[in-house]
Amino acid sequence: MDPDPKEPLSASDPTGSWGLHRELKAASAVATFAESPPAQGVRPVVEATTRKKAQPAKGRIIAVGGGKGGVGKSFVTSSLGISIARHGKKVVVIDADLGGANLHTCFGLSAPSLTLSDFISRRVESIDDVILETGVKNLRLISGAHDHLAASNLKYTQKLRLLSHIATVDADFILLDIGAGISFNIVDFFLIAEQGLLVVIPEPSSIENAYRFLKMSFYRHLWRALKSSPSRKVVEEAMDQKNSDGIRTPIDLLDAVERRDSATGRYLKERALSFRPRLLINQVRYPEDERLGASMASVCRRHLGIDIEAIGTVCFDESVWKANRKRRPFMLDSPESAAGSSLDLVAQALMFGSRTSARLERQN
Ligand SMILES: Nc1ncnc2c1ncn2[C@@H]1O[C@H](COP(=O)(O)OP(=O)(O)OP(=O)(O)O)[C@@H](O)[C@H]1O
Ligand SMILES: [Mg+2]
């Protein structure tokens, strides 16, 4: 059992309780929020208390999440992996969707017999033992756990071992495809990464889940930053949406900690700055969908105090299912398609640390 005292927000908790309901509706209708300026600077490495101190990450870890199922997390992870590998970097993609692993299908592979399950259950000692070739040059795969019960109920110690070993994988880039939901087991994969990429589609449920995911990840990030501080209790309280302290948003939380202990409050505000996920809008069909990323970034900044960057958009593209039907990895089948070109721009923005929106580059 994860020893954290607080459970994540319940799925039924309405986002209205964040005081964001109107904004969410407006964002999902792609209302005219002011375009947010691009964030400055390269995002610093997020501290990972779960990572073994003696084993710093060898490669850059990028986690692809989204809070909601079916938005294209696996499609984006596999496509970015192939794109980065085609730029000559060594890549390992890891299927960290412990409840519904299927990343191998994006590479046209049958379910491998050696998976993360073998590592989690210690049938093999090293994570290197479950790394598989994909047939794509420079790109290897760690396939997801298939014994769902064991995997999705990952014990706390198993999670720590897994997270610390992921950081030792020898590659330039390690891409994590993380599952849907906002449980700590999912959020912790997001937080181990140097860069968290949130995949959202222009649908209200996806937008709502993405806000929930962001909020829970941010609270967890702050909780981890406080380590043994007594102020951790305030964060734990805040994770309960119906807390009696009246803390409804991360901004409330940071203020509450500062009121309790001004030095810790200042420290936490500093640490809060290192939480800077990026947002990818997938399955875009209409021109107004292109503005969703900027709208969400604006809402996050004003209401949650979280600085996110809209890194790009990917259109809904028929060539994706055509590649699926052929069991061909999309980025090998249709790299020149509209979706393929956008994904390659996003891959380059991630690789070269450019803060320039891939969408803006595409327009030029
Ligand atoms: N831009 C796109 N254009 C067309 N189809 C897409 C696009 N993005 C994703 N899809 C399709 O949407 C479906 C869901 O994608 P995917 O499996 O990657 O989602 P997911 O978020 O990983 O889902 P899950 O949470 O169930 O693992 C797939 O059939 C995928 O091919
Ligand atoms: Mg998936």
pLDDT digits (tens, 9 = 90+) for 51-73: 344 455 679 999 999 989 999 99
**Residue 144 pLDDT more than 80?**
yes
pLDDT at position 34: 24
What average pLDDT does this structure show over 234-241?
89
pLDDT over 70, % of the chain: 80
Residues 6+ apart with CB under 8 A from 220: 184, 187, 188, 191
- 178 Cβ contact list (under 8 Å, min separation 6): 63, 64, 65, 73, 96, 97, 186, 189, 190
At residue 152, the pLDDT reads: 64
Which of residues 333 and 356 earns the better pLDDT score?
Answer: 333
- With cut-offs at 50, 70 and 90, classify the pLDDT of residue 148: low
Centroid of ligand 2 to alpha carbon of 97 (angstroms): 7
pLDDT higher than threshold 80 for residue 121: yes
Beta strands in the chain (DSSP E): 60-65, 91-96, 131-133, 139-142, 173-178, 195-200, 278-284, 309-315
- For atom 9 of ligand 1, the residue with the nearest CA is 72
**CA 107 to ligand 1 center in whole angstroms:** 13
Does the beta carbon of 64 sit less than 6 angstroms from any atom of ligand 1?
Answer: no
Please, what are the domains in the chain?
A: 15-363 (3.40.50.300)
Kindly report the pTM of this predicted structure.
0.84
| Residue 266 predicted with pLDDT over 70 | yes
Task: Give residue 1's pLDDT.
Answer: 37
pLDDT higher than 60, residue 313: yes
Q: Is 73 in the pocket of ligand 1 (CB under 6 A)?
A: yes
Q: Which of 155, 153, 152 is nearest to 144 (CA)?
A: 152
More confident residue, 56 or 344: 344
Give the position, in ligand 1's atom list, of the atom nearest the Cα of 339: 1
pLDDT tens, position by position, 297-310: 999 999 888 999 99
Dist. CA 339–CA 346, nearest whole Å: 11
* Three-state secondary structure of 76-123: HHHHHHHHHHHCCCCEEEEEECCCCCCHHHHCCCCCCCCCHHHHHCCC
| 339 touches ligand 1 (CB under 6 Å) | yes
Three-state DSSP state, 362: helix
Which ligand sits closest to the CA of 328?
A: 1
The predicted pLDDT at position 70 comes to 94
Residue 277 confidence (pLDDT) above 60 = yes
* Contact (Cβ atoms closer than 8 angstroms) between residue 346 and residue 310: no
- Mean pLDDT value of segment 74-80: 98
- From 71, 73, 75, 177, the mutation candidate for ligand 1 (largest count of ligand atoms within 8 A of CB) is 75
Average model confidence (pLDDT) across the chain: 82
Categorize the per-residue pLDDT at 358 as very low, low, confident or very high, splitting at 50, 70 and 90.
Answer: very low
| Cα(312)–Cα(161) distance, integer angstroms | 33
Mean pLDDT of 326-332: 96
Q: Is the CB of 68 under 6 A from ligand 1?
A: no
Band (150; pLDDT cuts 50, 70, 90):
low
Question: For residue 305, which amino acid is it?
Answer: G
- Give the whole-number percent of the chain exceeding pLDDT 90: 65
With 70 as the cut, is the pLDDT of residue 194 above it?
yes
pLDDT at 131 over 90: yes
The finding on whether 316 has its CB within 6 A of some atom of ligand 1 is yes
Best residue among 97, 320, 324, 342 to mutate for probing ligand 1, ranked by most atoms within 8 Å of CB: 320
43: pLDDT strictly greater than 70:
no
Cα 260 to averaged position of ligand 2 atoms, centre (Å): 41
